[in-house]
Amino acid sequence: MKKYLLIVFIFNSLLSNAQNYILENEELIFSFNTKNGKKLVLAKDKENEYIVYRFGTKEKIELEYPEKNIESWSKFTYGHYLRGGGKQNAGMELESIFFQINNFSYTIYKNYHSEDNSFETGIKIRNLSDDKIIDITGKYKTIKGSFYKLRDEELIEEDKDRIDE
């Protein structure tokens, strides 16, 4: 019995120390794990009251943006480019979500290139004062969700001239 109680205690402790990337009133839009062991999550309130970006580890969410209110939708834009025709036409699909915090622009991307049948995802962070870019690569096979709901339901503005930074 003591062993059972110890196991239950340890399990509950682990759960209570873990960060919640998705709250009970939210649903996942898009997420992936990064190659350096962190997680990116884009979520929205189930009633479309807000959209939120979270990034960090199981132990600590390092960045949550923006405030959870209806104005949050206007802080994000969506970019999409599709060229069909397969390998012979260098077909591709490029999708991005953009937002800016102070002097940094963020681009969450998910891309496919038919020429080499490659897939990539990640987040690029550009320092607008010196134009330096950090590209945090995601593990493509860990992707959950998609940007399609945002586009199809027109929840955020689409910038047809902007694909990637």
State the pLDDT at residue 165.
Answer: 53
Q: Tell me: the pLDDT tens digits for 26-41? A: 999 999 999 999 999 9
Q: Give the number of other Cβ atoms within 10 Å of residue 147's Cβ.
A: 20
pLDDT at 8 over 60: no
Q: Tell me: the pLDDT tens digits for 91-148? A: 899 999 999 999 999 999 999 999 998 999 999 999 999 999 999 999 999 999 999 8
Say which residue, 87 or 82, is predicted with more confidence: 82
**Would you place residue 158 in the very low, low, confident or very high pLDDT band (cuts 50, 70, 90)?**
confident
How many Å apart are CA 113 and CA 97, to the nearest integer? Answer: 18
**Would you place residue 153 in the very low, low, confident or very high pLDDT band (cuts 50, 70, 90)?**
confident
How many Å apart are CA 19 and CA 61, to the nearest integer? Answer: 7
Q: CA-based diameter of the chain, in Å?
A: 66
Selection from 99, 123, 101, 112 nearest residue 39 by Cα: 123
**Would you place residue 163 in the very low, low, confident or very high pLDDT band (cuts 50, 70, 90)?**
low
pLDDT at 151 over 90: no
pLDDT at 14 over 70: no
> What is the three-class DSSP state of 150?
helix
The contacts of residue 76 (CB under 8 Å, 6+ apart) are: 51, 97, 98, 99, 156, 157
| Mean pLDDT within 46-52 | 96
Q: Tell me: the pLDDT tens digits for 54-86? A: 999 989 999 999 999 999 999 999 999 888 888
Residue 16: its H or E element: helix 2-17
**Would you place residue 1 in the very low, low, confident or very high pLDDT band (cuts 50, 70, 90)?**
low
